[in-house]
Amino acid sequence: MATAAAQRTTHRSNYFFPYGTGDFLCLIPPGCEPRFVGLLSGDSVDFTNFTLLPVLNRASVERPRLPLRFTLCIANMFNSYDNVLQFVQAMELYRLLGIQRVIVYKTSCSATMDTVLDYYSRKRGFLQVRPWPIDAFLKPSSSWTPSLGPGQIHYYGQIPSSNDCLYRSMYQSRYVLMHDADEVILPAGNVSFQKLISDLEKAHGEKVNFYFPNNVFPYDEKEENSRFDFPEWRNVPGSNFLGHVLRELDTSGYNTGKLVLDPRGVLQMEVHSVHEHIDGGRTERVGRERGQLYHVRRRKNNQQGALVRDEGLLKVAVALVERVNHALSSMGLLNTTAGPAPTSAHPSPAMAGLR
């Protein structure tokens, strides 16, 4: 068994928590083709309790031969996560737009959410659940800063789980979407995700990552008398993002958007940006005329009234309502006692090609 000294670098974005993410660079001795790797601390050479991990991604794969075009990584699901309705809406939207696989890092969720995860993983084969029991080893924070959520590591280890998903997907997927369960990226116009990225590739070339600025739709600013407030959905926990059409005007100057990555051009990522590019990779900002990140959450801008109407998500309503109904019914979550399954009151021919 060959050993080599490892050089450690610490991720700069630990957000003032005592634990963060680090890299270990280990130079391979000449003539060695390692199949497994492990770490020993100090001068220890005790291999009796030594954990070995397989070495992956040694052989590169050409982009046209990658088995998947789009993978979505969601990190993390914690605090008995129960935003069921919005999660189902997001899954059906991404299936509609051509996302092929979703990976969820789960620490804890509700029993109803477990039913949803089982449906999309076992019955649909669309989703993979990766257990993330970080709370068995550290005291994780449920916030981005210790002042709002004391703990030892930022947001249940969001940065390490995101980088784990990045590397696991590196030679499986051409692009990897990185965002949270309460966010969706929607292309502008009547286009699929493949068409959006193809247009961006034509404009910017290959080995490019795409940054979508954050657009907050406050969950406490729900439209009254919305035609999408269906009684059949009211018993399902979570937000109905079709009822949120008021967007905050972001004047903070912070970059809190999310990413679509070409993972082979990324060495390490942060929550909202690429920490280090490799092999000529770079990141380009995507304008609202191409696509938009929709984020239903509490207000970030405390100035009441700083809202604009934005009905971009409603263009998918016709196709989405039908698919959400089918999914909820299949899971036994649709409230059929409220009447017939809901349909959109105002069909839009523009979405016919995305059914």
Confidence at residue 9, expressed as pLDDT on a 0 to 100 scale: 56
Query: Which comes out higher in pLDDT, residue 23 or 247?
Result: 247
Q: What does the pLDDT look like over 156-192, one tens digit per residue?
A: 888 889 999 999 999 999 999 999 999 999 999 878 8
pLDDT of residue 179: 92
Inter-residue contact 89 to 346 (CB < 8 Å): no
Least confident of 60-74, 128-142, 224-238: 60-74
Give the integer Cα–Cα distance in Å for 164 and 71.
Answer: 13
pLDDT (0 to 100) of residue 92: 97
pLDDT higher than threshold 50 for residue 199: yes
182, 86 in Cβ contact below 8 A?
yes
Q: Which amino acid is at 99?
A: I
Q: Tell me, what's the pLDDT at 345?
A: 41
pTM of this structure: 0.85
Higher confidence at residue 332 or residue 6? Answer: 332
Q: What CA–CA distances, in Å, run from 327 to 116, 125, 160, 239, 318?
A: 9, 14, 32, 16, 15
The per-residue pLDDT of the chain, averaged, comes to: 84
The stretch 83-92 carries a mean pLDDT of 97
Residues 6+ apart with CB under 8 A from 86: 181, 182, 238, 239, 240, 241, 296
Which of the pair, 299 or 78, is modelled with greater confidence? Answer: 78
Top pLDDT among 19 and 264 is at: 264
Give, in order, the Cα–Cα distances in Å from 355 to each of 159, 166, 292, 294: 35, 30, 20, 21
What does the CA dihedral 166, 71, 286, 96 come to, rounded to 10 degrees? -170
Contact yes or no for 108/80 (Cβ under 8 A): yes
Residue 347 has a pLDDT of 35
Give the DSSP H/E element, type plus range, for residue 6.
strand 6-10
Give pLDDT, residue 353. 34
Q: Compute the distance between CA of residue 146 and CA of residue 340 in angstroms, rounded to an integer.
A: 48
Alpha carbon of residue 231 to chain centroid: 29
> Which region, left, alpha or beta, applies to residue 184 given φ > 0 means left and ψ of -120 to 50 means alpha?
beta
Position 346 confidence tier, pLDDT thresholds 50, 70, 90: very low
Residue 122 is given by DSSP the state: I
The dihedral built from the CA positions of residue 93, 94, 95 and 97, taken in this order, carries a sign that is positive
What does the pLDDT average to over 343-347?
43
CB 8 within 8 Å of CB 23? yes
Three-state DSSP class for residue 152: coil
Q: What is the pLDDT of residue 75?
A: 86
The first and second tokens of residue 132, run together, are 């993330």
Residue 269 near residue 288, CB atoms below 8 Å: no
Instruction: Report the distance separating Cα 107 and Cα 77, nearest Å.
Output: 6
Q: Dump pLDDT digits (tens) for 203-261.
A: 999 889 999 999 999 988 888 778 999 999 999 999 999 999 999 987 777 788 999 99
> What is d(CA 11, CA 22) in angstroms, rounded to the nearest whole number?
5
